[in-house]
Structure 1
């Protein structure tokens, strides 16, 4: 019986986090309130607060949820790329390209809250440390791998900071080039 309660509690948290992400996607960081999340999720305000006792806890939960989602998507994409050189970096290219389309507004909103919560990026730093270790085990050409990763980070952060100067077509050309660079030495 305990396992069922835990699973249901985890499902409730996930439902609340998905609702919170939708509120942020639709209304930006300024629209994120416990009341808005309660309305979006269908939970009472007390139900939201039971799972996330403060707005800061909710924001941290959102970041942890997104970091886990990113890592899971990279893992799934990696499994499809196992026959290629450096499948983890191959997967990161694929997932980053998708996230620039689907999650850009969330990155912008979460970035806005970073000033008041300096440890907000820790879940992503932990995920990226694991990804870095996987890449180190998969390729001898770390200079090329890090240059490709740095390009991915640059594209992501320029989008999150609303300073990207690349059109959709230009960004697609960049991703194509990164894939070609990564696969350049493969026979």
Structure 2
């Protein structure tokens, strides 16, 4: 349980969302309760409910938080890849590889929640639309770029749906090949 201190509303919400994500990561979506989040975050149940009045509001907040985190990581990786002809796609490869290693169980757990709430795709669709526009501005050969992106999506969704057939080593080879293909795309 986290120690509670004086914090502003944004910090409070962020701490609660991180705690909720940890509950889901550790115990699955079925274990996401306001009581479990309160215990994990160090807030009272009333404090959690003040920030997220319903479980749906909490779940929506979690998805928006994850989408923002993903976009921020892609943005940071893009800055590291500015020498690439397509820094956005380079960043997407880098960040997706990291998320599949570090956030795999979270994606699987959140999938169960999404079944009842198709609107939960909207935050990620906004992020993807912005990435698509950036890639379109960076590359003229979009078909090959979309093929790389589709591969990233396939890897992500097979992990989230628990139907991946690749070992970690095999997945690393796929990422290595995607980087090679991106380099060839730039030549």
The TM-score, its normalising length taken from structure 1, stands at 0.95
* Map of 1:133 onto structure 2: 133
Give the 4+ runs in structure 1 shifted more than 2 A. Answer: none
* Map of 1:114 onto structure 2: 114
Following TM superposition, by how much is the alpha carbon of 1:185 offset from its aligned partner in structure 2, in angstroms? 4.4
* Map of 1:73 onto structure 2: 73
* Map of 2:15 onto structure 1: 15
* Map of 1:90 onto structure 2: 90
Kindly indicate whether residue 151 of structure 2 is the aligned counterpart of residue 147 of structure 1: no
SS in 2 for 1:184: helix
Following TM superposition, by how much is the alpha carbon of 1:38 offset from its aligned partner in structure 2, in angstroms? 0.1
1: CA distance, partners of 2:85 / 2:173: 21
2: CA distance, partners of 1:172 / 1:46: 44
* Map of 1:44 onto structure 2: 44
* Map of 1:162 onto structure 2: 162
* Map of 2:57 onto structure 1: 57
Following TM superposition, by how much is the alpha carbon of 1:186 offset from its aligned partner in structure 2, in angstroms? 3.8
1: CA distance, partners of 2:164 / 2:124: 21
RMSD of aligned alpha carbons: 0.9
2: CA distance, partners of 1:118 / 1:181: 33
* Map of 1:29 onto structure 2: 29
2: CA distance, partners of 1:38 / 1:70: 25
1: CA distance, partners of 2:114 / 2:25: 17
Kindly indicate whether residue 187 of structure 2 is the aligned counterpart of residue 178 of structure 1: no
User: 8 Å contact 2:24–2:109 — kept in the other structure?
Assistant: yes
2: CA distance, partners of 1:13 / 1:186: 42
Which range is displaced more, 156-165 or 111-120? 111-120
Following TM superposition, by how much is the alpha carbon of 1:118 offset from its aligned partner in structure 2, in angstroms? 1.4
2: CA distance, partners of 1:110 / 1:168: 21
The unaligned stretches of length 5 or more in structure 1 are 1-6
1:116-168 deviations in Å (ceiling 9; x for gaps) = 11101110000000000000000011001000000000000000000000011
